Homo-oligomer: A and B are copies of this chain.
């Protein structure tokens, strides 16, 4: 045991493939992790054991270094098991080259993390709550009236607010040249914003078409397009590894497809 310190055990994980555990059948929150791994061409495996594998993962009581996790996505990497989408991205960012160079910009990772957290708050968590405003444990059908009311507010107020914020970021000095959010290079925050915009377009197509035509968020929509055209992302999106939207975070309900 003395020769195998935690530091040594964990450093050796660098050469080990990544393992993602997430609910099968939906892109969901796991998609943010998948996009980072795909863009980097990383050696990874996705959930193969279906729902049973996910349940086993969250029922696991952890070990000396890893606490039990509450919910997927879960990333396993050697001895490491971690959860929480933004946390997994934070771990992967430097390893996959998806954050600024720490020698040039040692605090760049915090800027990127902040952008990713804000996108997840307003363009992933809030859309989810639009179809589940009362209880995640109830069906949409049991909270349709409240869903409609929340979605009306979301489409009118919250969605433009978040898109305008990212448009501001993309027009700010710190975004640098090119279509990316920060420092002139692709970071995982761009991948997160891509998937968020993509999902919101699926869920609220009328509102997003109107916002796109409005011309006030051209940089946000250009980023969505630029990420989708990255060679590895484009190949991934065409592959069977990219799961279709269904009953996950982003859902299409005609009643919620509101024209603002």
A82: Cβ under 8 A from any B Cβ: yes
Q: In angstroms, how far is the closest chain B Cβ from the Cβ of A114?
A: 5
Contact at A134–B150, with CB atoms within 8 Å? yes
Contact at B117–A67, with CB atoms within 8 Å? no
Q: Which of A3-11, A194-202, A242-250 lines the interface with chain B?
A: A3-11
A61: Cβ under 8 A from any B Cβ: yes
Tally of this chain's copies = 2
Chain A interface residue count, Cβ-Cβ cutoff 8 angstroms? 61
Q: In angstroms, how far is the closest chain B Cβ from the Cβ of A75?
A: 9
Residues of chain B contacted by A213 (CB below 8 angstroms): none
A157: Cβ under 8 A from any B Cβ: yes
Contact at B173–A106, with CB atoms within 8 Å? no
Q: How far is the CA of A169 from the CA of B174 in the complex (A)?
A: 39
Those of A125-172 within 8 Å (CB) of chain B? 125, 129, 133-138, 146, 149-150, 153, 157-158, 162, 165, 168-169, 172
Q: How far is the CA of A111 from the CA of B69 in the complex (A)?
A: 10
Those of A186-245 within 8 Å (CB) of chain B? none
Residues of chain B contacted by A64 (CB below 8 angstroms): 173-174
A-side residues, CB < 8 A to B, are 5-7, 10-11, 61-70, 80, 82-84, 86-87, 90-91, 103-108, 110-111, 113-115, 117-118, 122, 125, 129, 133-138, 146, 149-150, 153, 157-158, 162, 165, 168-169, 172-175, 181-182
Q: In angstroms, how far is the closest chain B Cβ from the Cβ of A2?
A: 13
Contact at B106–A11, with CB atoms within 8 Å? yes
19 further A-B contacts with Cβ under 8 Å, apart from A67-B115, A87-B114, A129-B133, are A6-B105, A7-B103, A10-B105, A61-B168, A61-B172, A65-B107, A65-B108, A66-B111, A67-B169, A67-B182, A68-B172, A70-B122, A70-B162, A70-B165, A82-B114, A91-B107, A129-B129, A134-B153, A137-B153
